[in-house]
Chain A
Amino acid sequence: MKKIATGNKAVAEAVKQAGPDVVAAYPITPQTEIVEQVAEFVSSGELKSRYIPVESEHSAMAACIGASITGARTFTATSSHGLLYMHEMTNWAAGARLPVVMTNVNRSLGPGWNIWAEHTDALQERDTGWLQVYVSTVQEAYDATLMAFRIAEHNDVLLPVMVNLDGFLLSHIMQPLDTVELGDFIPPLTLPHAIDPKSPTGYGGLTGPDQHFKFRWDIERSMRDSVKVIDDTQKEFAKRFGRQYGFTEDYRCDDADVVVVAMGTLGKEAEVAIDLLRKEGIKAGSMRLRWLRPFPKLVLIGKEVVVIDRDYSFGRGGILATEIMAQTKEELFSVIAGIGGQEVTYEDVADFVRNRRMGTESWFGVNSNV
């Protein structure tokens, strides 16, 4: 069914269709519309979930963990400081191998208070064992949320999935949304290690130095196995509903000499810049990274790479740039742009390409010639 929706409303719509048994959430700008809408669906009976209005994000994730270990489907949503406040429990959810699905509306971190888009919040969760996908349109927010449940709950994965959408730039922007008849796209959840009082089991107790690494390795093993599950799920989604998704979204990359790599809405904005540059005779392409974890193999050989980071790791560099540097020998031009909602237009992105200085880093708005 075709309609117009904000990114937040699209996520809530997908959650309604996925039908979690338990939703535990705490409001935070700019995620609030998701939890309000989900609460509304529960209240009207359209969604037969238990909605737990917890007193903090730490408790939101703890409640999802407690629910999930009984074999229940679970969902939560947060943003920024909320995500950081639940950091201890995001680690726990992944370590406990629980397929919690969470929407994170990407937002800057204080101080000072800033409610606008930035990816540093989710990237600080990079090493927790969560799968992470970044979306760029309202439609993709909806589609990725549906797929997240199927991927997380797949018994070859059993890891939590975080769907990231840019605060305001996507959460509050209205775009066309085509909802699907879900059918059996998300199979019923069968958690192999669900709690059963008839078979008493200890969960998460003491694990010695001779054992602990085995559990950590098992997370990595499943993270590697998730590549196939993601691929299969995206193909099945395309087959059923007609919309194609990959680990990256490549735009005019094949014959490109220079490729812009970015995540979220900036990655989409880059496509307009590419068309502009092509008109000028610059053979440019763009690669929007969708999945940060598991990190895909990027094909960038022989190309100049301009990476736009809406995030930063102080003392090291743009986080996406650093990730790509670890994988490719190609020289990068690392641009730090869009921090705290800083406005970045497609004209600006085109400038990053025109004025690129390979092997250097530049902060948009700080360094004069970018």
Chain B
Amino acid sequence: MINNDRSSIALSRSPIRSPSLQELDIIAEIPKEEYVLKCTSACAGCSDSLALRYVLKAAGPDTVLVVPACCTSVIQGIWPNTAFNIPVYNIAFGAAAACASGMSNAFRKAGKKTNVIVYAGDGGTLDIGIQAMSGAFERGTDFLYVCYDNEAYGNTGMQRSGATPLGAKTTTTPTGKTDFKKDIDAIIAAHDPPYQATAAAAYPQDLFKKVQKALTFRGPSFIHVLAPCPPGWRYSTEKTVEMGKLAVKSGMWVLYEREYGKVTIGAQSKVAMKKPIPLEDYLAPQGRFKGIDPKTVDILKQRIVKNLAKLAAEEAAP
């Protein structure tokens, strides 16, 4: 059941070889330790494992990951092997936050500071897991909840979720989704946790810092990570990082933090607010938006403006 391979050879083999990310490895503050080992069964260009790599580097070894049904339950590999060099507790789809709640309480009762991190997809967060998550946040559970959002049910083959944006084609919305993406960040904000943030797998340093910061707070914290999905969004695998950046640059995804209620918009999104790239530049490379009605694009654009204005107003509030 255990893959205890922490040999220097195993650790020196970085599973990701792209030059831009190798550059990141030389940034002093990001530890060399790898907790997502080679041989995950993730798809090529998967940003779930990319984001998780930095989440775990930030959290360090005294961490337990609680994972509901999602792509992450699959990419660990098949028993008796596991591709993760950290304890992982897999739990039923709608139960991650409740399970973490029990785990966190038991660790604290035993005087242990072990980080309890839920790592869940958008389905397990916005849809089936929302009740358990809301309960855990309301009860002030000492844990970090990371939702990696690929905007559909990825591991069952891309059915629509509450996180699927308007107009996106999925296997259950073959002509494009007719409803808006659920604003889970606003729902979390309504619970007023000490810390919440958005991030993107395309900006790993930013994600790393936010995870480190989140773990300094007592009580619940939340990080919502945009995780583009090549087979689901129908773009070619080498464009995963670019896709995340286009989402931020177009304003479709906004990077911000909310610390004790105070909103701070990230530098990358500040640029997008002043001078966004055309939304079409983000939509066009993705097969899921192919043939999208221009009227729908206009509605998406209006939502972007509205969302940015709302966040700017929150940031400006004293």
Contact = CB atoms under 8 A, between A and B. Distances in A.
A34 interface: no
A196 interface: yes
Interface stretch (A69-77, A124-132, A288-296): A69-77
A59 B110 contact: no
Most buried by B among A21, A22, A199: A22
A136 to B, nearest CB: 32
A208 B80 CA distance: 10
Residue picked from A24, A65, A207, most chain B C-beta under 10 Å: A65
A61 to B, nearest CB: 8
Contacts of B61: 197-198, 200
Interface in B88-107: 88-92, 94-95, 97-107
Interface in B181-228: none
A159 B243 CA distance: 47
A201 B87 contact: yes
Given A202-B3, A205-B90, 10 more contacts: A22-B102, A55-B138, A68-B106, A92-B95, A197-B63, A197-B114, A200-B86, A202-B87, A203-B1, A206-B74
B98 A199 contact: no
Contact of B101 (A59, A72, A201): A59
B95 A204 contact: no
A205 B102 contact: no
Nearest to B115: A197
A287 interface: no
B90 A202 contact: yes
B95 A62 contact: yes
Given A22-B109, A200-B86, A54 B63 contact: no
A52 B102 contact: yes
Interface stretch (B127-135, B231-239, B273-281): B127-135
B269 interface: no
30 contacts: A21-B106, A21-B109, A22-B102, A22-B106, A22-B109, A52-B101, A52-B105, A54-B139, A55-B134, A55-B135, A56-B98, A56-B132, A62-B92, A62-B101, A62-B132, A63-B98, A66-B89, A66-B98, A66-B104, A69-B103, A70-B106, A72-B110, A197-B87, A201-B87, A202-B1, A202-B88, A202-B90, A205-B77, A205-B78, A205-B88
Interface in A283-330: none
Interface of A: 21-22, 24, 49-50, 52-56, 58-60, 62-72, 74, 88-89, 92, 195-208, 211
Nearest to B105: A50
B2 interface: yes
A66 B100 contact: yes
A297 B91 CA distance: 35
Nearest to B35: A200
A66 B78 contact: no
A12 B134 CA distance: 28
Q: Which 6 A-B pairs have the closest CB atoms?
A: A63-B102, A55-B135, A66-B102, A59-B98, A202-B82, A62-B98
Contacts of A49: 109
B173 interface: no
Contacts of B92: 62, 88-89, 92
B98 A208 contact: no
A214 to B, nearest CB: 10
Given A202-B82, A207-B78, A89 B89 contact: no
B102 A68 contact: yes
A70 B110 contact: yes
B106 A201 contact: no
A66 to B, nearest CB: 3
B89 A196 contact: no
B49 to A, nearest CB: 15
Contacts of B82: 201-202, 205
A351 B316 CA distance: 80
Contacts of B109: 21-22, 49-50, 72
B38 to A, nearest CB: 15
Contacts of A204: 89-91
A67 B64 CA distance: 12
B192 to A, nearest CB: 17
B119 interface: no
A62 B62 CA distance: 22
A199 B4 contact: yes
Nearest to B90: A204
B108 interface: yes
B137 to A, nearest CB: 10
B89 A50 contact: no
Interface in B51-89: 61-64, 66, 73-74, 76-80, 82, 84-89
Contacts of B101: 24, 52, 54, 59, 62-63, 66
A105 B4 CA distance: 44
Nearest to B61: A197
A55 B105 CA distance: 16
Contacts of A198: 61
A72 B106 contact: yes
A66 B66 contact: yes
A62 B101 CA distance: 9
B87 A89 contact: no
A203 B78 contact: no
Contacts of A205: 73, 76-79, 82, 88, 90
